[in-house]
């Protein structure tokens, strides 16, 4: 005799949702600490430091508006923020509430991961129970590509949460407001849902600027797709798309929506096959994790009611453990990605202690290093005494490009660059001699030659080793003080 199913009170549901969020928040924060994110500077991606600086600008605008002072600054900040991405606006709001430290900013990514886990847990639990919901959450949380996304300050985690939440909300609205589609036939209804779901995801993808680029061959695209959650997870997800568990007696609105989400993101990535970065695929990982768990449920033969799932759990335990080790505990978890980018923080502290008055600083590095240095200065310079100029902007001509797409040098002659550096506008020059060769510009050698050959005009005051992606560089980071000696000549 089948036992009677007792519905769970809504109050207890909220308790479980809260517990899922708190556990996910704690586990994510532990991964951030274990992988070195709390100690590393913002160098995990070339755009990471830029996102921090933009969020800081949003935070400053909010602080001025809250204080009710500096109305001119408020108007200027609002005008400057009109084209700011939604992720940076949300990050700035978080920084306004919880501070601008490295840990505070990383906890914003932790909160996003916890919110995404909550969506995954609630969706899977509704159809397959607590055990399946835990497996889906663990699968997503431990995937190496996902771990990188919430250990760096990048918008993909934010987009994954927004898109998944929007598609789940759309599925619920379809269930609540369009019951008549059942009378029109299951097949017609499924096609209509899939089409409208793809249209929704495609529209959101365009809004999130995922689609600039020309269609290219799908071969490299197919090779990289399996690396997001793993080949096993992709296989189980495909099974979840093809096989429908009989435990779901209602229309598969939610699961068709998940398929539409994955399809929309994959098409968006295919249209950007010329871009080597695969971060856009992170947006589809919550749906892939849920579909993988659905496929595992189908393969395990758990096809009864929720009560049957509980009674059959003991004899299906071996398959569930196999699922856990294959999907939620990949081999990469034993050798996790370490985030280790350091060297610009001590240089920033040295400059802040050295400079007693407003000073201009020119940092010469690659875009990643320049963003790292600028973010370290902004994080520590409470008095905002230091103004940072990027060499990739100041020393290049935006109107033209040199060979191989590299920027055109602004100062073609050493005398021109020497005159600019000693004009009084620049007080310090930060030179990174460990720039990788693939992003090494001509002005790097030009600046180093001028600084080293003119000691009377550029006095070295500090040097520090640089660590890039865990690898110590042989060339140090050096700081030069510009000596304002009248009549100085280029040596």
The last residue of a domain, from among 265, 299, 333:
333
pTM for this predicted structure:
0.82
Q: Is the dihedral of CA 450, 452, 455, 461 positive or negative?
A: positive
CATH code for the domain of 428: 3.40.190
Question: What backbone torsions phi and psi does residue 253 show, to the nearest 5 degrees?
Answer: -60, -50
* Residue 481, beta-bridge partner list: 428, 459
Model confidence at 462: pLDDT above 70: yes
Q: For the chain, how many residues are written?
A: 491
95 is a domain residue: no
Residues 431 and 377 in one domain: yes
Domain for residue 490, yes or no? no
Question: Is 188 part of any domain?
Answer: yes
CA distances from 349 to 215, 290, 352, 376, 379 (A): 47, 46, 5, 8, 10
* Percent of the residues in the chain that have a pLDDT greater than 90, as a whole number: 23
Query: Do 288 and 349 reside in the same domain of the chain?
Result: no
The answer to the question of residue 489 being in a domain is no
- Cα–Cα distances in Å, from 460 out to 115, 336, 433, 448, 487? 48, 39, 14, 12, 20
- Name the band, by pLDDT with cuts 50, 70 and 90, for residue 319: low
Percent of the chain with pLDDT over 70: 67
pLDDT tens-digit map of 54-113: 999 889 888 877 776 555 555 555 555 666 788 999 999 999 999 999 999 999 999 999
User: Is 151 contained in some domain?
Assistant: yes
Decide if pLDDT at 9 tops 90: no
Q: Which among 333, 353, 377 is the end of a domain?
A: 333
Query: Same domain for 351 and 231?
Result: no
Confidence of residue 187 (pLDDT cuts 50, 70, 90): low
Please report which helix (H) or strand (E) contains residue 375, including its range.
helix 367-380
Residue 262 in this model has a pLDDT that exceeds 90? no
Question: Domain check: are 417 and 305 in the same one?
Answer: no
In this structure, the answer to whether residues 408 and 322 fall within a common structural domain is no
> 29 and 178 share a domain?
yes
Are 299 and 393 in a shared domain?
Answer: no
191 lies in a domain? yes
State the total domains in the chain.
Answer: 2
* Pair 360, 299 in one domain: no
Supply the mean pLDDT for the chain: 77
Residue 84 domain flag: no
Provide the 10 A C-beta neighbour count for residue 34: 13
Calpha distance 24→330 (Å, rounded): 18
354 and 473 belong to one structural domain: yes
**What is the greatest pairwise CA distance in the chain?**
100
Q: Quote the pLDDT of residue 207.
A: 43
Token pair of 265 as six digits = 């993101």
* The token pair that represents 151 in the structure block: 């250990």
- Owning domain of residue 476: 344-482
318 with 198, same domain: the answer is: yes
In this structure, the answer to whether residues 313 and 352 fall within a common structural domain is no
What angle is formed at CA 34 by the lines to CA 30 and CA 40, rounded to 5 degrees?
110
Identify whether residues 419 and 455 lie together within a single domain.
yes
Domain annotation covers residue 173? yes
Rounded to whole angstroms, how far apart are CA atoms 81 and 175? 38
Alpha carbon distances (Å) from 287 to 147, 241, 482: 16, 11, 55
Last residue of a domain, one of 333, 363, 397: 333
């Amino acid at each position: 005799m089948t036992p009677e199913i007792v519905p769970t009170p809504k109050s207890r549901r909220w308790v479980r949702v809260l517990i899922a969020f708190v556990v996910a928040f704690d586990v994510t924060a532990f991964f951030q600490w274990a992988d070195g994110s709390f100690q590393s500077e913002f160098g995990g991606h070339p755009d990471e430091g830029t996102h921090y600086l933009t969020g800081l600008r949003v935070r400053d605008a909010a602080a001025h508006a809250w204080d009710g002072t500096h109305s001119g600054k408020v108007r200027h900040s609002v005008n400057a923020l009109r084209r700011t991405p939604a992720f940076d606006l949300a990050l700035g709001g978080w920084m306004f509430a919880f501070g601008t430290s490295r840990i505070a900013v990383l906890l914003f990514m932790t909160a996003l991961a916890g919110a995404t886990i909550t969506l995954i847990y609630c969706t899977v639990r509704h159809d397959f129970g607590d055990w399946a919901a835990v497996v889906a959450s663990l699968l997503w949380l431990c995937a190496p590509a996902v771990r990188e996304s919430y250990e760096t300050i990048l918008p993909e985690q934010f987009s994954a949460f927004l898109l998944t939440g929007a598609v789940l909300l759309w599925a619920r609205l379809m269930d609540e407001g369009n019951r008549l589609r059942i009378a029109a036939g299951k097949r017609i209804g499924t096609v209509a849902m899939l089409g409208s779901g793809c249209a929704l995801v495609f529209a959101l993808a365009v809004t999130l600027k995922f689609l600039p680029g020309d269609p290219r061959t799908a071969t490299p695209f197919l090779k990289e797709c399996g690396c997001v959650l793993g080949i096993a997870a992709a296989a189980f997800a495909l099974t979840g798309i093809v096989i429908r568990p009989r435990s779901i007696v209602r229309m598969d609105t939610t699961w068709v929506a998940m398929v539409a989400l994955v399809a929309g993101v994959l098409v968006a990535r295919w249209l950007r096959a010329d871009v080597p970065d695969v971060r856009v695929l992170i947006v589809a990982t919550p749906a892939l994790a849920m579909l993988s768990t659905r496929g595992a449920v189908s393969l395990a033969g758990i096809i009864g009611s929720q009560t049957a799932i509980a009674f059959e759990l003991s004899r299906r335990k071996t398959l569930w453990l196999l699922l856990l080790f294959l999907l939620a505990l990949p081999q990469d978890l034993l050798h996790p990605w370490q985030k280790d980018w350091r060297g610009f923080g001590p240089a920033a502290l040295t400059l802040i202690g050295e400079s007693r008055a407003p000073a201009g600083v020119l940092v010469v590095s690659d875009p990643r290093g320049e963003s790292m240095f600028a973010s370290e200065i902004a994080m520590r310079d409470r008095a905002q005494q230091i103004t940072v100029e990027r060499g990739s902007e100041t020393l290049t001509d935006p109107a033209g490009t040199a060979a191989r797409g590299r920027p055109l040098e602004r100062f073609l002659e050493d005398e021109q660059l020497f005159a600019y550096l000693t004009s009084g506008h620049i007080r310090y020059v930060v030179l990174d001699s460990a720039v990788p060769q693939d992003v090494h510009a001509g002005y790097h050698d030009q600046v180093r030659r001028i600084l080293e050959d003119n000691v009377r005009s550029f006095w070295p005051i500090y040097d520090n080793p640089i660590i890039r992606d865990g690898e110590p560089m042989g060339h140090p980071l050096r700081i030069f003080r510009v000596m304002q000696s009248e009549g100085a000549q280029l040596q």
